[in-house]
Structure 1
Amino acid sequence: MLYGHGNDLYDYSEKITADFSSNIPYRNASVQIVAHLSGCLHLISDYPDPNARALTHEIAEHHNLSPENVLVTNGSAEAFYLLAHLFAGKHSTITYPAFAEYEDACTLYGHTLSFMPVSELCGSINFTSNETVWFAFPNNPDGSIVSSETIENLCLNNPDSYFIIDNAYGELCTQCQPVIPLHANYPNLISVHSLTKTFAIPGLRLGYIVAEKNIINRLQPLRIPWTVNTLAQEAGSFVMENYSRLLPDAGILCRESQQFQQQLATLSHLEVTPSPCHFFLIRLKSGTASQLKSYLLEKHGILIRDASNFRGLSPCHFRLSVQEKTANDRLTDALRDFFKITA
């Protein structure tokens, strides 16, 4: 596991008053989920269903799938390690910059790895020597989006390769088309989904894989027993029963992100990478993200994501996830103060 993911609150003694480091949407219904779970604590006296059957059926019904095409996991991270295990020793391509767990999981299971910029991913690429190709839709950390047409052409033109798509932020970005319907036509498509991200329950760890029946059947025996605990399963069932009501308003989040990006782009010391998502990437024109992170923590109690440990990025890159306007303005002012000191 790569240390230095966002929301690494446990590493710091400083009081965090604004957290821009995690891509968990600040507009969320986690309080309602917590309220529901507070009446379900008695469930911990029994072992959880090792196959999360009730939640599996609810997810399948929500997406109009067969339960045989769904595997509930302990967050998307478990999904990536299970898939890397399934294809152990194979040749894989991972796009970059990207969430580090793809590479970490593949390395653990002995994959021969190739890397390519996510900006170069297109439907005409020949991946005949690759058993798996990993990318995110939308991409973390820069928010870039490949088209649904590109995904279809990749699957169609490379029938012997499996395309593993991290769709953790798909429902939080208005420009992302749903990926689930593509499974009906492309058996070499595998998508990973995160209720953790969408519904702001990272402490519970809850996600799922959608794939053809054969893939799900091969993944099942690779699992450690009871990886998805009872309260996580109960939270998942509550979410599926109240999906539309609990789902964050992606339109508002993305509009707020656009406004925040424009606000920061007025600072001459920053280069903001435009993103259609609620999170985005920034490059410092002088100084390092590590220096900035330390300054913001110590002087302002603000946490950002130092993105220098993403493959393909520099020590000058950091990532932000939009927060409420007062917090956004606080960070903007703190950045101005930092630039005065380092000028």
Structure 2
Amino acid sequence: ITDDNEDGIYEPNSNFFVTNVKWINNGAMILPAGAILSFRSTEYISTDANHGILLQGASVGTILHSSNRFKCHMNSMRAISLNQPYIQRVQLTSQIHLLNRMFSGSEVSTNLICQYPIQIKEIKFPFVLCPNELAIATVTFTNLSTGVYGTCPSARSLGSVKCRFSAHSCIQVVPASRNEAYVYHNGIYEINQILPNSTKQIRFAIISSANTQNWYYDNLFWNMDLLLRDTVIEKHQNNIRIVPKFVPSERTDILLITDSLFTRTEFLEYQDLFRLFNFSSRYWDMQKYGPLNNSEPIWLHTANIIIFIYSNPKSKFNMIPSHLLLKHMNSSDYAGFICIGNCEIDELDFAIFDYNNLSCGNTNDENKSEKINHR
């Protein structure tokens, strides 16, 4: 079985050929001349019903060989593959008919993989950005075939490979620098030579504009199309979340800890609340800056009140060690923390001490306090 352009890949909407078919009469009777050898049409493979091969007669146990070439067609994919390459396992089955009767023993199947020779192997895009931020993104392509693809001045190419981007108006996708891996023109990256059974990576810059400050905690879309011979064969899409930039040199009244579950609606509500009480505020997004117990706790001494929003199943409390919380509590006379949500006291890794009654909240807190020596 050979594919149309002999690169070893059975592409959608392409022809392939079956040659050198061997068959044997393993029945108990002589097979008279006039039987027809053909291949079955399926959901994924089309064959010409009139393109059968007339077989000669065969005595019992005789092995015969057909030198004819059978043409088959791999059907087009029904829909463009989203966020993954198109890969479909298909089955090619032979059959022999005589006088409108099919010999069941003539049904011999082989498995083929219908796919494109060029696929996107990996995409590395930023998931979260601040306004006026630049991040480097990469896309890695793989060539599964035995042929050369792309723009190849010095070699015979089996087809062009292009990558087309579109994004929210506040997101720019531009070449990172002079890059010999592609040629850029009007939002399309035309990939240079991709050698057989190899990969090729391109780099480009993702830039968020200053206007993204109007989209805090919202998701801005991006789309990417992979084109082979100017036909879209893969679509990829995702979002970039916009968050405020944390500036450690500016001390505020409130530091609100957020994560990927925090929505723009919540952000606007807290903004209105802080404005009502005339509180200045900053935001620390853990998807962007990591948990509060990272190696450099630059959030310390930057706010009087730390607000945790407890969103099951992701608790913020197990992300801040007790010694860092104590440093925060000792940072000023107005220092404190607030938990908003239905958390349980037992989830804290520090004890709660009731200064009004000069005692721990309960026995568990007292034991916890003595164990970690923070009473």
TM-score, normalised with respect to structure 1: 0.22
TM-score, normalised with respect to structure 2: 0.21
Higher Cα radius of gyration: 2
Q: Which has the higher strand share?
A: 2
